[in-house]
């Protein structure tokens, strides 16, 4: 049980952001966008592992995944691995619960007047659009949940191994180091389960490796770029808690209390 007003409020806020950003990543992840074109650049045309025409086409879930890993590192820093594991398992259950509710909603019989809507001059079948946007295949859902759990557990383990070796110094090393490893796991596990094991797609290992490498390259760059934000949040939390309480929490977290 976490006692005390300030640390309890901080844990609640960090935990809520972790859960919210993870579920948001799952829901918006159905949209695939072009990173290059969104930045006003020309698409790359790469050839990796014999797979031609590759570019940075990413799931929109990458918008909030960096926030998930930053939040994970902050919870790790102040509350320790037990609390991260608890929140990770809770979040996995909530993801599964969200998709169960969505699956039930998709089976509801739509109202007649709602099905056909005219949006920007085009007639849209709203029921099909709803199912296409919020519905995801079981293999993708299972892959996402497993990748999230494995990535989170790897993150918390690596974070604390680095912290034990370096002490309170080098926040950037333990946070960024644990994130880039966990992002690597997340990038490949979900693709392997959803597209390699899934008989509907049956991708080759070359395709899995190529797409996974492209996805990881993007996440690696973002993880490095988010390091200043991590330091700003760390400083804000230290100011919010006060130097004495902040140090006490970090020492307990390092011991795994």
Burial 233-248 (b: 16+ CB within 10 A, else e): bbeebbeebeeebbee
Is the pLDDT reported for residue 114 higher than 80?
yes
Is the pLDDT reported for residue 50 higher than 80?
yes
Does residue 199 or residue 17 have the better pLDDT?
Answer: 17
Which has the closest alpha carbon to 95: 171, 148, 168, 59?
148
pLDDT one-digit tens code per residue, 115-149: 998 888 889 999 998 888 887 777 888 888 999 99
Chain centroid to CA 34: how far?
A: 19
Distances, alpha carbon 182 to alpha carbons 35, 73, 106, 138, in Å: 22, 11, 33, 23
pLDDT one-digit tens code per residue, 53-92: 889 988 898 899 889 989 999 999 999 999 999 999 999 9
């Amino acid at each position: 049980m976490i006692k005390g007003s300030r640390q309890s409020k901080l844990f609640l806020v960090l935990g809520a952001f972790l859960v919210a950003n993870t579920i948001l990543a799952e829901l918006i992840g159905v949209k695939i966008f072009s990173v290059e074109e969104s930045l006003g650049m020309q698409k790359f045309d790469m050839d990796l592992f014999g797979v031609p025409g590759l570019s940075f086409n990413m799931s929109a879930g990458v918008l909030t995944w960096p926030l998930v890993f930053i939040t994970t590192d902050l919870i790790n820093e102040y509350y320790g691995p037990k609390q991260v594991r608890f929140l990770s398992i809770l979040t996995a259950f909530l993801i599964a619960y969200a998709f169960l509710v969505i699956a039930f909603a998709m089976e509801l019989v739509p109202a007649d007047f709602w099905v056909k809507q005219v949006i920007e001059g085009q007639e849209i079948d709203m029921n099909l659009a709803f199912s296409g946007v919020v519905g995801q295949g079981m293999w993708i859902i299972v892959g996402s949940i497993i990748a999230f759990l494995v990535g989170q557990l790897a993150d918390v383990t690596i974070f604390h191994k680095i912290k034990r070796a370096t002490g309170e110094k080098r926040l950037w090393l333990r946070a960024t180091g644990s994130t880039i490893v966990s992002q690597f796991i997340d990038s490949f596990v979900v693709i392997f389960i959803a597209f390699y094991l899934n008989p509907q797609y049956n991708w080759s290992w070359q395709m899995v490796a190529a797409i996974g490498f492209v996805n990881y390259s993007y996440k690696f760059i973002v993880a490095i770029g988010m390091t200043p934000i991590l330091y700003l949040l760390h400083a804000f939390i230290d100011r919010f808690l006060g130097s004495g309480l902040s140090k006490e929490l970090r020492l307990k977290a390092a011991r795994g209390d």
